[in-house]
Amino acid sequence: MAGRKHTKPVDESHARPGKTEDITVEALGELSKALETIHRVRGHLYSAHQLVGGADLTLDRVVKLFREAGHDEMADRVEHELLGRNVLPGRWTFQIVEEFDDGYYAAFQEIERDAREKLAGGRRHIFEAEMKERRRTHGMPGHEATP
């Protein structure tokens, strides 16, 4: 944030407390940005979970159609080698998302929250609020400081 002038947001709930230094606000902003990325990762994991589950359920129809077409050997292979198969050793996707949620994701959220509590009085998005104040055009429609 070197060279940027600290601009106090109009919205006090996003104002930096006391004498919080620019570098602390920047670090908190980067930590928040990283957490937002991890939120997206979590969404992608849940998408994968649902997609894999849907594909597995589709295999029931595949087996049925192969049997109707007289391809019992292929139906057996799909049924025994793919249907219900673990996607990782010993794990279905629900287990992967649970482990992610309870481990890495929970730790990331807790550390980000702890940093905000200890360094910024629990306030979120201070960096972005100051950027908004610097970048908005005062008096222009659509550039209001608050709703």
Tens digits of residue pLDDT in 70-97 = 999 999 999 999 999 999 999 999 999 9
Residue 5: band (very low, low, confident or very high) from pLDDT cuts 50, 70, 90:
low
- Give the domain ranges of the chain: 21-120
Helix (H) / strand (E) element for 128: namely: helix 126-135
Q: What is the pTM of this model?
A: 0.85
| Spatial contact of 67 and 75, defined as CB atoms under 8 Å apart | yes
Would you say residue 1 has pLDDT above 70?
no
pLDDT for the residue numbered 18: 87
pLDDT for the residue numbered 70: 98
Mean pLDDT of 118-123: 96
Among residues 50, 86, 49, 81, the alpha carbon closest in space to that of 63 is found at: 81
- Alpha-carbon distance 128 to 131, whole Å? 5
Tens digits of residue pLDDT in 26-72 = 999 999 999 999 999 999 999 999 999 999 999 999 999 999 999 99
pLDDT for the residue numbered 82: 97
